[in-house]
Amino acid sequence: MIPRSFSDEGIVLARRNYGEADRILSIYTKEHGRISVIAKGVRKPVSRKRGHIEVFSQIKFQAVNGKGLDLLTEAETVENFAEVRKTLPKSSLAYFFMEVVGRTTREGEPHPELFDLVIRYLDDLKFATKLKQLRTNFVCEELETLGFWPRGKPLDNPDAKLEEVTERNFSSLRVGKRVLE
């Protein structure tokens, strides 16, 4: 029998408004991979979950299985990466990390090592000064972790390989390059 509810730890990859007061979240979790959940009433000013579900926040959450989307019932911030949010270049790079993970993973395919990789790079981003190098290293390690590139083999143009894997251009890639140069 499939359990009706589950709890996990995850990173909020993206969010979009739905209806009058709801939000659909894309979360990369440790045990369930990438999932989409709906957070009911979270856009109302009195919502207690509102501050916990910001993009690139690490959260612990509970959800129940729904007919279409799973329903987020509880959320608690583990780390909100406030140091990263203080500067535009670091925030831009964090959004780029989220977009890369969101576009290179599929729903329901867990990769615990990728979850740990993203957390490590967000921690490194707090005090990083060489953002361009950090960005390149993240793309290379992410492609290696997911098996799109052999480990240890040099990758001359990580952006081209990333666009080949996803079969599309990245919107934050352009912003990231301009801000980081």
Question: How would you write the pLDDT of the chain (181 residues) with one tens digit per residue?
Answer: 456 888 999 999 999 999 888 889 999 999 999 999 998 888 887 777 776 788 899 999 999 988 888 998 898 999 999 999 999 999 999 999 999 999 999 998 999 999 999 999 999 999 999 999 999 999 999 999 999 988 888 888 888 888 888 887 765 554 445 555 4
Do 165 and 148 contact (CB within 8 A), yes or no? yes
Domain with 163 in it: 82-180
Do 86 and 128 contact (CB within 8 A), yes or no? no
Domain identity same for 89 and 168: yes
Helix axes of 158-166 and 88-104: crossing angle, nearest 10 degrees: 40
- pLDDT score of 104: 93
- pLDDT score of 58: 93
Domain limit, last residue, from 56, 79, 102: 79
- State the amino acid at position 131 in one-letter form: L
Domain identity same for 173 and 87: yes
Domain identity same for 130 and 152: yes
Per the structure, the count of domains in the chain is 2
- The span from the CA of 7 to the CA of 22, in Å, is 20
- pLDDT score of 63: 92
